[in-house]
Amino acid sequence: MNYSLWNQFENFVNEDYEKCFSPVSVLPYLALKHNFNHEKIIKDLDDDYCLKNISLMDISKLINDFYSFSGIKNENAFKFIMHEVIDNMYEHSHFTQAYALSKACANIIDYCFLDNGISIQKSFENNNFDFKDDCDAILKAINGKSTKQVSGYIERGYGLNNIISLLTLENNGSVLIASRKGAVYIDGNKIYLKELSKKSIEGTLICLRFEVNQDFDNFYSLIDGFHNFEV
């Protein structure tokens, strides 16, 4: 069976829960099933998972807990990635509930973030940003299109671009982002887009896969640069 992030997400989209393996499938399924009922989600998860309620926890403690759970060597790279993802959620999503879930298996570890916010596409629409479809909106966000304002001016947002570059370009990781009817999966130089027909993701789902033995020696060079992700 293929346990890539993309394959696991397709299992979720196709409601094939028998094949669920990684948090990419388990977290959104449980959250949708229980309408974000935190106690029921925890009850249904086994001890191999580490689940955190983002809206109720101190962010630094959450990230420290995830790092101690991870086994990843480069603490700076790991914490940079986690902070960027969670900061993006707070700055753009307007969520009322959000969760982060991690699970390790062999030499990989997955992190999945799910919020019930307004979605990437709705955030763009609220700011009169044009996009062709829901996948295109996600790609634009990855490539620096941002609704963040400083002193009344829209800024470019390269945090998401930086973390995807860090994980996928040289460190054998992968990233999946789904919001509303769009899903974008990046693995190395490969980019896959999918328009969802059966489901619509409330808010935004961000899934990150790390290869544990990577040391992220290229951390500083990648976060100082920009990579244009195109299909």
The answer to whether the beta carbons of residues 158 and 149 sit under 8 Å apart is: no
Mean pLDDT of the chain: 78
Of the chain, the end-to-end C-alpha distance in Å amounts to: 26
Between residues 74 and 197, which one has the greater pLDDT? 74
Number of H helices, E strands in the chain: 9, 9
Query: Of residues 158 and 209, which shows the higher confidence score?
Result: 209
Mean pLDDT of 216-221: 82
Pairing of strands 153-154, 182-187: unpaired
Domains of the chain in sequence order: 5-223 (3.30.565.10)
pLDDT value of residue 81: 92
In this predicted structure, the answer to whether residue 74 has a pLDDT above a threshold of 70 is yes
pLDDT for the residue numbered 29: 52
Q: What is the pLDDT of residues 114-143, one digit of tens each?
A: 888 899 999 999 989 899 999 999 999 999
The span from the CA of 229 to the CA of 231, in Å, is 7
Q: What is the pLDDT of residue 1?
A: 41
Closest CA to 31 of 114, 111, 109, 110: 114
| Average pLDDT of span 188-198 | 83
Give 16-45 pLDDT, tens digit per residue. 655 554 555 555 555 555 455 555 555 666
Walk across the sheet containing 108-115 and list its strands: 49-53, 98-105, 108-115, 201-211, 174-180, 182-187, 190-195
What mean pLDDT is predicted for residues 193-221? 84
Task: Quote the pLDDT of residue 155.
Answer: 46
Most confidently predicted of 17-31, 47-61, 65-79: 65-79
